[in-house]
């Protein structure tokens, strides 16, 4: 066999080994994500969750992947059980506290603050809604990416968003909502920004499980993010222009 044939054979073998390795890694991380999600769904203790998260980090799974494929999936399933009447508010609260504990473990990795100032965002969960786990994750990622974040918290009145926009003149306004009943509040905020004459001075970014792209377009938002990382990317694109 010619030397080029040997080379080709070696190349193919290396390629197949690498493919198998990455496939194996993926299966292993899927397994871990499922374990993390199940720990939340079964309302087990935070220590077990913490151990699984440390294991995932040791396996070089990124904090974002752990959040999206493990923690968020787990909470989604808890939400479904709540919807079916299998779980009650106390179980929702317990699952939320487990995830908050887990995020505290991930926090040092998520919130490594950048020193550069990329831009400014005003952020809050809209009036009537007190969900803030996702908003807080987005906030940490934005800070880590060099944005100055003014977090107005939860259950924020439209006029408070407007007042803060007038005060700090941000580049972006980020709104979070998880309840279908509080989605219309996002529209109210945009209307109020228009009324105050500041709508065109800011980009409006929506997030939260309840929000769809179609809804965002209908109410005149600039973008809807399906997750926190996508939200950060939209903000970076706007600032780069």
Binding site residues, ligand B12, CB under 6 A: 67-68, 72, 75-76, 78-80, 82-83, 89, 92-93, 96, 128-135, 137-138, 174-176, 178-181, 205, 207-210, 225, 227-228, 231
Q: Dihedral of CA 205/208/214/219: which sign?
A: negative
Find out whether 118 and 147 touch, Cβ atoms under 8 Å.
yes
> Which residue is listed with tokens 């991930």?
106
Q: How far is the CB of 70 from ligand B12 (least distance, A)?
A: 11
Residue nearest to ligand B12 (CB): 134
The residue (of 7 and 164) whose beta carbon lies closer to ligand B12 is 164
The residue (of 1 and 141) whose beta carbon lies closer to ligand B12 is 141
Q: How far apart are CA 126 and CA 164, in angstroms?
A: 14
Q: How far is the CB of 26 from ligand B12 (least distance, A)?
A: 21
The residue (of 191 and 222) whose beta carbon lies closer to ligand B12 is 222
The residue (of 13 and 226) whose beta carbon lies closer to ligand B12 is 226
Phi, psi dihedrals of residue 156, rounded to the nearest 5°: -90, 130
Strand locations in the chain (E):
119-125, 147-151, 172-176, 203-207, 223-224
**Residue 121 β-bridge partners:** 149, 172
The residue (of 80 and 212) whose beta carbon lies closer to ligand B12 is 80
The residue (of 17 and 114) whose beta carbon lies closer to ligand B12 is 114
Closest CA to 136 of 103, 159, 164, 108: 103
Q: How far is the CB of 125 from ligand B12 (least distance, A)?
A: 7
Q: How far is the CB of 89 from ligand B12 (least distance, A)?
A: 5
Q: How far is the CB of 4 from ligand B12 (least distance, A)?
A: 49
At a CB cut-off of 8 Å and minimum separation 6, what does 81 contact?
Answer: 41, 87, 91
At a CB cut-off of 8 Å and minimum separation 6, what does 140 contact?
Answer: 107, 110, 111
Q: How far is the CB of 137 from ligand B12 (least distance, A)?
A: 5
């Amino acid at each position: 066999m010619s030397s080029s044939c040997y080379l080709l054979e070696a190349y193919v073998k290396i390629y197949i080994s690498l493919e198998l390795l990455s496939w194996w890694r993926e299966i292993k991380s899927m397994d871990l994500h499922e374990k993390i999600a199940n720990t939340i769904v079964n309302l087990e203790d935070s220590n077990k969750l913490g151990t699984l998260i440390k294991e995932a980090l040791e396996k070089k799974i990124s904090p974002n992947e752990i959040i999206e494929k493990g923690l968020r999936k787990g909470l989604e399933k808890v939400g479904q059980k709540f919807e079916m009447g299998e779980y009650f508010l106390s179980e929702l609260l317990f699952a939320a506290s487990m995830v908050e504990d887990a995020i505290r473990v991930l926090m040092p990795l998520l919130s490594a603050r950048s020193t550069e100032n990329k831009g400014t965002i005003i952020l809050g969960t809209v009036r009537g809604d007190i969900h803030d786990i996702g908003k807080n994750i987005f906030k940490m990622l934005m800070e880590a990416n060099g944005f100055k974040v003014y977090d107005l918290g939860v259950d924020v009145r439209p006029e408070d968003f407007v007042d803060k926009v007038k005060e700090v003149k941000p580049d972006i306004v980020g709104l979070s909502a998880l309840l279908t009943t509080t989605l219309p509040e996002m529209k109210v905020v945009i209307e109020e920004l228009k009324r105050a004459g500041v709508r065109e001075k800011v980009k409006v970014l929506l997030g939260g499980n309840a929000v769809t792209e179609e809804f965002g377009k209908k109410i005149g938002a600039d973008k809807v993010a399906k997750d926190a990382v996508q939200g950060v990317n939209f903000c970076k694109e706007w600032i780069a222009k």
